[in-house]
C-alpha cells in the first residue's frame, strides 16, 4: 500500500487481510518520500488497525532515504519492518543491531525481501543469520518483479523458470523456522491467473501471498487458509490421538489410515491457524 496514497491508507481499516505493508520504497516517487513519511506518522496517530499486522517497507539504508525511513520505524513501532533487496546474510543482523540500539521492543520484527540474484543465491545463509541471537527476522518475502528484471526471465503463466528459485526460498525458511510469503501477481484483473498462482504458491509451501488490490484478498484467504475439509481431517487426527488406547503410541490406525505423531503436530498447527483466522473476522 503506497504510503503516499491517503485514500488507500484509510481503506486499510476495512480490508479483510492479515497484514498491511505500508510502502515507502518503489511505489513512492523520490520527491514524495518526505510526504509519505508524514502520512504514515499521521495515520499511526489515528485509530489503530484491528486484527491486522502493520509492516513498513523502507528504502535501502544505502539510499538517501533509508536513514529517515528507519527513524520513522523507530518512532512508530509497527509490528515489522520490511527490508528491500536483501542480498547478504549480514544485512539482517545490521538492522537488528540498529533497532536494538534504539531500544525498539523485541516484538518489532524484520521481514526481508528476496528479489535479486544474489539474494536467491544467499537465501540459505540469510535465513540462517535470522536465527542468530538478537536477530528479529521471521519472514522472507519474494519479490519477482525485480528478480525478473535482473535475470531477464519472462513473466509467463506457471512461473516455470522461476519455480527452482521459489523453492529455494521455501526450503531455506523451513530449515530455519521462518515463514515465506509469495510474490505479487501484477494483473489484478486476471482473476483466473491469480487463482492458479495462489494454488501453486500454497502447494509449494508458502505461508501467504503479497497482494496489490482488494479484489485479491478473498481468493488469497481461500487458498492459504485451511479449508473446511482440512480442518475436519485435522480435528479427526487430534481426536484419534486423544483416545486412551493411543496413549504412548507413535503410530496409530485411524479409519484404515496409518498416522504418526508428526501428523498430530501438523493437525494441531492447522487448527490453531484456523482459530486465529476466525478470531480476526469481524464480529
Give ∠ CA 55-224-183 in degrees, rounded to 5. 55
CA distance 198 to 130: 26
Alpha-helical runs (H) found in 110-250: 117-121, 123-129, 144-151, 163-175, 191-204, 217-224, 228-242
CA distance 97 to 66: 15
CB atoms within 10 A of CB 279: 8
| Residue 94: all three cell numbers together | 545490521
| Residue 44: all three cell numbers together | 499511526
Q: Is residue 71 marked as binding?
A: no
Q: Is residue 97 marked as binding?
A: no
Residue 230 has φ and ψ, to the nearest 5°, of: -65, -40
CB atoms within 10 A of CB 10: 12
In this structure, are strands 137-142 and 257-260 parallel, antiparallel, or unpaired?
unpaired
Q: Is residue 57 marked as binding?
A: yes
Q: Kindly state the helix (H) or strand (E) to which residue 112 belongs, with its residue range.
A: strand 109-114
* Beta-sheet strand order (sheet of 53-57): 19-23, 53-57, 80-83, 109-114, 137-142, 179-182, 208-209
The annotation places the binding site for Mg(2+) at: 115, 146
The annotation places the binding site for substrate at: 57, 115
Amino acid at each position: 500500500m503506497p504510503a503516499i496514497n491517503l485514500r488507500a491508507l484509510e481503506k486499510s481499516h476495512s480490508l479483510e487481510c492479515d497484514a498491511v505493508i505500508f510502502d515507502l520504497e518503489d511505489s513512492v516517487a523520490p520527491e514524495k518520500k518526505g510526504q509519505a513519511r508524514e502520512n504514515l506518522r499521521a495515520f499511526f496517530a489515528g485509530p489503530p488497525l484491528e486484527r491486522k499486522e502493520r509492516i513498513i517497507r523502507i528504502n535501502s539504508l544505502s539510499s538517501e532515504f533509508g536513514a529517515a525511513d528507519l527513524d520513522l520505524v523507530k518512532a512508530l513501532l509497527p509490528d515489522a519492518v520490511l527490508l528491500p533487496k536483501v542480498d547478504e546474510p549480514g544485512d539482517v543482523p545490521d538492522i537488528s543491531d540498529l533497532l536494538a540500539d534504539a531500544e525498539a521492543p523485541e516484538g518489532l520484527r524484520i521481514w526481508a525481501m528476496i528479489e535479486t540474484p544474489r539474494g536467491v543465491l544467499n537465501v540459505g545463509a540469510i535465513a540462517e543469520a535470522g536465527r542468530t541471537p538478537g536477530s528479529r527476522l521471521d519472514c522472507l518475502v519474494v519479490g519477482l518483479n525485480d528478480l525478473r528484471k535482473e535475470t531477464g526471465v519472462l513473466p509467463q503463466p506457471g512461473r516455470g523458470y522461476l519455480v527452482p528459485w521459489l523453492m529455494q526460498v521455501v526450503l531455506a525458511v523451513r530449515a530455519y523456522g521462518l515463514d515465506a510469503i509469495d510474490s505479487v501477481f501484477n494483473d489484478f484483473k486476471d482473476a483466473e491467473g491469480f487463482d492458479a498462482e495462489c494454488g501453486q504458491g500454497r502447494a509449494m509451501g508458502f505461508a501467504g501471498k503479497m497482494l496489490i488490490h482488494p479484489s485479491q484478498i478473498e481468493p488469497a484467504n481461500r487458498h492459504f487458509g485451511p479449508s473446511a475439509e482440512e480442518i475436519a481431517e485435522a480435528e479427526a487426527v487430534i481426536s484419534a490421538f486423544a483416545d486412551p488406547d493411543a496413549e504412548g503410541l507413535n503410530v496409530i490406525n485411524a479409519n484404515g489410515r496409518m498416522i504418526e505423531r508428526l501428523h498430530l503436530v501438523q493437525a494441531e498447527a492447522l487448527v490453531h491457524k484456523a482459530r486465529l483466522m476466525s478470531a480476526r473476522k469481524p464480529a
